Amino acid sequence: MNLSITTPRGFVLLTCLLFPPFIHSASVAQPTAPTSSASRRILVVETTHPFELREFTPPLEMNAPKKSTAQGEKVNPEETLRLYFEALKSGDYERYMSLWSKDSQVLMREQDRSANRSPEFWRNLWSSAFVGKRVVLTHWINYGPYVLIQFRVGDLRADKSNENLLVLKQESASTWVLTQELRNDQFLSGWNDPSGRIRVPAEVLLRQR
């Protein structure tokens, strides 16, 4: 079963994957010679994801971007996100796209072509989701070379329906950009799990589904 939070494009899709303890396919080969009855077992292979978590105290308001030079406007993740949310609220699609890494822009434009989505589609979505609403940053996560920032829209009380993550990376000494490079990383859906553990089936089992 997939439990998903659907969000406007530009956000990481947070998906919690819940799997049964054993995945059995009717197509699995069976022995022709006599055997004992099958005993079902699980091998757990752990991959650790060290990270550092900080909380903005108080939550950081995302107001209009500060006046800055073209070179320095994305000098840190917070300033990049100020520009990002300003682009969403103003419906500036090209400005929004320019805040992503080049590889991410290629991926996102290809996804839009495949889904027949125009810039106007996103402008309409952003208008209903952001215009006139307060946006704050709540958490900062250092994860390898990336910075992940959790934000909240509208009601500032903690509520999974109005929280999401954005992922940034440093392109140069004075430039931070948003990136889609972690879109398939399980860390994004599991970093805040109280148990500190998530379990997913091996890739070979997923291919059978």
Higher local confidence (pLDDT), 38 or 23: 38
Range 48-58 average pLDDT: 91
Whether 24 is in a domain gets the answer no
Q: Say if 91 falls within a structural domain.
A: yes
Band the pLDDT of 209: cuts 50, 70, 90.
low
Q: Is residue 25 part of a domain?
A: no
pLDDT value for 200: 74
**How far is the CA of 199 from the CAs of 16, 83, 133, 195, 204, in angstroms?**
10, 36, 36, 11, 15
Q: What is the pTM of this model?
A: 0.76
Alpha-carbon distance 125 to 45, whole Å?
41
- Residue 118, domain member (yes or no): yes
Taking the C-alpha atoms of residue 3 and residue 70, their distance in angstroms, rounded to an integer, is 41
Residue 139 has pLDDT above 70, yes or no: yes
Q: What is the pLDDT of residue 105?
A: 97
pLDDT in the model for residue 165:
93
Is residue 202 domain-resident?
no
Q: What mean pLDDT, rounded, does the chain reach? A: 81
Mean pLDDT value across residues 126-139: 93
Bond before 58 cis per omega within 30 degrees: yes
d(CA 186, CA 189): 6
Q: Residue 7: what pLDDT?
A: 43
DSSP for the chain reads -EEEE---BTB--EEEE---S----TTS---SS--PPP-------------EEEEEEEEEE--SPPP--TTTTTSSHHHHHHHHHHHHHHT-HHHHHHTB-HHHHHHHHHHHHHHT--HHHHHHHHHHHHTT--EEEEEEEEETTEEEEEEEESS-S--GGGEEEEEEEEEETTEEEE--TTTT-THHHHTT-TTS------HHHHTT-
Residue 113 placed within a domain? yes
Does any domain span residue 200?
A: no
- Counting the structural domains of the chain, the total is 1
- The enclosing domain of 88 has a CATH number of 3.10.450
Asked if residue 121 has pLDDT above 80, the reply is yes
Q: What is the pLDDT of residues 96-119, one digit of tens each?
A: 999 999 999 999 999 999 999 999
More confident residue, 166 or 156: 166
Determine the structural domain holding residue 54 and report its residue range: 47-182
Flag whether pLDDT at 136 surpasses 80: yes
